[in-house]
Structure 1
Amino acid sequence: MPTHSTHPARRIAVIGNGMTGSRFAEEVARRDPAGERVRVSLVGAEDEPAYNRVLLPGVLAGRYSPADIRLPVPETPAVAVRTGTAARSLDTARRRVELDDGTGLDYDELVLATGARAAFPPIPGLAAADGAPEDGVTALRDAADCRRLSALARPGGPVVVLGGGVLGLEAARALAERGMRVSLVESSPWIMRRQIDRPAAGILAELYSRLGVAVHSWRVAARWIPGTGLELDDGRVLPGDALVVTAGVRADTELAAAAGIDVDHGVRVDDTLATSAPRVHAIGDCAQHPGGGSGLVQPGWEQAAVLADLLTGTRPASRYTGARPVTRLKAEGIELTAMGETEADDTAETVTIADPHGGRYAKLSVRDERIAGAVLLGFPDPAAAVAQMFDSRAPVPADRLALLTGRPTPAPEQAGPAPLVCRCNAVSRDDLETAWLDGARTREDIARTTRATTGCGGCTRDVDALLSGWNDARPVPAP
């Protein structure tokens, strides 16, 4: 007969109710729903429930409501959540966190999930002496930023986005959807410099131009002039009622550093997500692991799962060994997936398809019969298969071109798991169909049952298309 422990549940304090902190609490609840092993106390500085900040550009564009991007809250005695409460100080010797409401949390294990905040470049006019944005300037990092930008964005008016990375491009597209006249400024030679090569960036910039966004690459901002616009290093002034700064983030490490924990660009952690302080762990954007992963949804969630395995004792051998990032640009009307090496060296075999007129570009780099890197712009069909092959380090088919342009069928002995629809949560088409057969008929049902669409949001259209086809082909009786 099973026996139950008579020991009291261990106390886990989690600082940060963002995407990774809330995911950790959910992972713990899945492993210990009754709270017999551990009890989680999660505190977050924002007043609102946990939400998917990656989808904020979609809220800005009007494709989602704030309720649409909320993350699941575990309904279990294992987890208690407090919003609107920030950590003020940490005493690792006493194992206690002091909170800004005058209370404190004693812990057996502490999880830092403090995330990162927007970094404002030292450009005149962007921020006041206390770091607060000047008039007309905002980031797009949290829900408050999204509300601020929505208030500034008036249809027909000009707006400038500073930063040509993924968030900047998604924000620019969202603002164009709202009817704004958008200029985007990137100081690197081309947009998405870390994820794609120059030819792909040129085609992407042209696609944005067709959508009404003027892209200014290799230009440095000189100063922001409130009520006028952004002055560039060549003397031009781009008109703007608002300036959206998406020029990078800075890990929130102050709490850890003040407590004497080893900090570099982030809080240093090992493969068990342990910091230099006993019983203190870090996950997500605030954590710095040798294998990378900060700034990305999937690695943060992998870290949350590994740490839940360890702290609940369900998988003591679980380890986080690093990230193999796949980037998806979530911009209406544009399909872009990129992964691995941006510029492969001469040790890699490369296949490239360029169709500037059609707005399409594909590049596949192969080394030792494995994918070293890939860019797929305007090729949505093979993107999932290529990403899964990259993720699993599977051998590449002999016909490289067929892999880029279609869905080559593997030989029986090479057949692997069903292709993933939602990579962030490892949800396959088979998983979705099983959920549908069990009664999940809407996207909300699917998200609740499988977690699909709750990550980067890149699978939302695929999930909607599958549901539409299944519901039409197999009509559901009206309630």
Structure 2
Amino acid sequence: MSSDIVVIGGGMAGARLARQLPGATVIGEETHAPYNRVLLAEVLAGRYGPEVAALPSAEVRRGVRVVRIDRADRVVQCDDGSVVPYSTLVLATGSNPVLPPLRGLPARELPDGVHPFRTMDDCLALDAAVREGTRAVVIGGGLLGVSAARALAARGARVVLAQQGERLMERQLDPAASALLRDHIEALGVEVHTECRVRGLHSDNGGAVRAVELADGYELAAEIVVLACGVRPRVGLAQAAGLDVRRGIVVDDQLRTSDPHIRAVGDCAEHNGTVYGLAGPALEQADVLAALLKDAPATDTPTGTPSEAPGTGTGTARPGTAAGAAPQPGPPEARPPASDDIGTGTGISTGTGTAPRYTGTRALTRLTLTGHGHGHSPLDLATFGETTPLPGDDVVRLTDATRGAYRKVVVRGDRLIGGILLGDLGAVGELARTWEGDEPLPSSPLSHLLGGS
């Protein structure tokens, strides 16, 4: 059946499928061979060359964009004029960076010096533009913005990080952990502004950006501006084809869309009301779908529209996935990510005589901030689950100011429901496995928290 499978998207999920389904046709817009986007910040920082981010070889038609899906004839039409038939179509179209509504920021063409930070081309464009002393402003203080700011600082740029929210990585970190992260970023030479709304951009007569204007009228001089304001699922093809789309392309536990001949995986897919936008879930979804398509048609009989049955996320933890502070030898895909969210569970549920199902991913956010220059050490952080307690929850914290380490776990009854670890990840593997497996905690949560020391 692989010869009848067409995959739209040559990113991490599409490449994963291609390696498991020989003969499938994978169509990708990018001209680069598939790569691990988790490593882009390390490439920009100069720690790795672009070749290190390359994924194991996969057959992809590069530089080709699909412009239309014809569901009646089961073909896709491409911008090079080709028409590709399919029996099963997989949408792995990924996501686009969000471009904020700023004055001086055209919707279609960015001014010179203004860069998103999502693809290898974005990374290489920034690499070509940055020099020692370059004035750079990063807009957005989430995971991507922090990674980009650190990478530019490692290259010697004079970096300002502008975050509209109250603190850095506010979706993942509590105020105490965010304050420690800010201290580390500022020690690298990054000037951090929180509760700072950017109003617009100013360009010179040649069209190159020269300044970022804040809401209070203050201007930050800039030769480079990086937009790190989040991502949005790419669902245009699916919408035009009449598929069920909410925030993402709606899929069931077998990754089926509202058309039983079309599946979706990765950043563009919405499963059980969740759009992950993370590398780990994308790879897990690709693995489930590959297993399903290999088994087809015997165990993969289309049943129509996606079911609304909730996923339970009961996959077992992968030993060692969450541990390890620095990339190790071996293929890049197998190395611990330098910055991104990774899944701690397989997201696969199977039973005797039944088809595999994707039941959701419990994602663990992991970031390594590599030090540069004299006296700067790396900083590791990891977060998982619910880190904001509800009334009645138990919270255990440990702060080691000398070592710059912080640990916090949230316990509900006898279950671990979330945690933050910064600076010392010795316990993260055990904590992540306990959380993923929904196991009862030992009688003393504090000793469990300290188990990795």
Aligned to 2:104: 125
CA deviation vs aligned residue, 1:308-353 (integer Å, no higher than 9, x gap): 1111117752111222111011321111000111311123211012
SS in 1 for 2:411: strand
Q: CA deviation at 1:357?
A: 5.4
Q: CA deviation at 1:291?
A: 5.2
SS in 1 for 2:24: strand
The question of 1:395 aligning with 2:372 is answered: no
Aligned to 2:90: 111
The question of 1:220 aligning with 2:197 is answered: yes
Q: CA deviation at 1:303?
A: 0.6
What letter matches 2:5 in structure 1?
A: I
Aligned partners of 2:295, 2:413: CA distance in 1, in Å? 38
Which of these residues, 112, 115, 132, is aligned with residue 155 of structure 1? 132
What letter matches 1:186 in structure 2?
A: Q
What letter matches 2:445 in structure 1?
A: R
For structure 2, list consecutive stretches of 5 or more residues without a partner in the other structure: 204-208, 300-353, 371-377
Q: RMSD of the TM alignment (CA)? A: 1.7
Which of these residues, 28, 41, 45, is aligned with residue 57 of structure 1? 41
For structure 1, list consecutive stretches of 5 or more residues without a partner in the other structure: 1-7, 30-38, 75-79, 409-479
Aligned partners of 1:104, 1:150: CA distance in 2, in Å? 36
What letter matches 2:176 in structure 1?
A: P
Which of these residues, 360, 363, 368, is aligned with residue 408 of structure 2? 363
Which of these residues, 15, 18, 24, is aligned with residue 22 of structure 1? 15
Of 397-406 and 239-248, the range deviating more from structure 2: 397-406
- Determine if contact 1:18/1:51 at 8 Å carries over to the other structure: yes
The question of 1:87 aligning with 2:66 is answered: yes
SS in 2 for 1:183: strand
Of 372-381 and 339-348, the range deviating more from structure 2: 339-348
- Determine if contact 2:253/2:358 at 8 Å carries over to the other structure: yes
Aligned to 1:337: 382
Q: CA deviation at 1:237?
A: 1.9
SS in 2 for 1:20: helix
Instruction: Provide the TM-score with structure 2 as the length reference.
Output: 0.81
Q: CA deviation at 1:295?
A: 1.2
The question of 1:312 aligning with 2:312 is answered: no
Aligned partners of 1:182, 1:404: CA distance in 2, in Å? 36
Aligned to 1:199: 176
Aligned to 1:470: none
- Determine if contact 1:12/1:109 at 8 Å carries over to the other structure: yes
SS in 1 for 2:199: strand
Report 1:69-468 matches (<5 A).
69-74=53-58, 80-126=59-105, 128-129=106-107, 131-226=108-203, 227-290=209-272, 292-313=274-295, 316-332=354-370, 333-356=378-401, 358-407=403-452
- Determine if contact 1:364/1:404 at 8 Å carries over to the other structure: yes
- Determine if contact 2:136/2:160 at 8 Å carries over to the other structure: yes
Q: CA deviation at 1:373?
A: 0.8
The percentage of aligned residue pairs carrying the same residue is 42
Aligned partners of 1:348, 1:304: CA distance in 2, in Å? 36
Aligned to 1:461: none
Shift in CA distance, 379/402, structure 1 to aligned 2, threshold 3 Å: farther
Q: CA deviation at 1:135?
A: 1.9
Higher helix share: 1
Q: CA deviation at 1:293?
A: 4.8
- Determine if contact 2:7/2:90 at 8 Å carries over to the other structure: yes
What letter matches 1:251 in structure 2?
A: P
CA deviation vs aligned residue, 1:352-398 (integer Å, no higher than 9, x gap): 12244542211011113221110001112112222222222223233
- Determine if contact 2:2/2:21 at 8 Å carries over to the other structure: no
- Determine if contact 1:291/1:323 at 8 Å carries over to the other structure: no
Shift in CA distance, 9/201, structure 1 to aligned 2, threshold 3 Å: closer
Aligned partners of 2:405, 2:192: CA distance in 1, in Å? 18
- Determine if contact 2:97/2:116 at 8 Å carries over to the other structure: yes
Of 53-62 and 8-17, the range deviating more from structure 2: 8-17
CA deviation vs aligned residue, 1:235-289 (integer Å, no higher than 9, x gap): 3222221110010111111111111111122111111111111210100001111
What letter matches 1:52 in structure 2?
A: N
- Determine if contact 1:293/1:323 at 8 Å carries over to the other structure: no
- Determine if contact 1:293/1:299 at 8 Å carries over to the other structure: no
- Determine if contact 1:194/1:342 at 8 Å carries over to the other structure: no
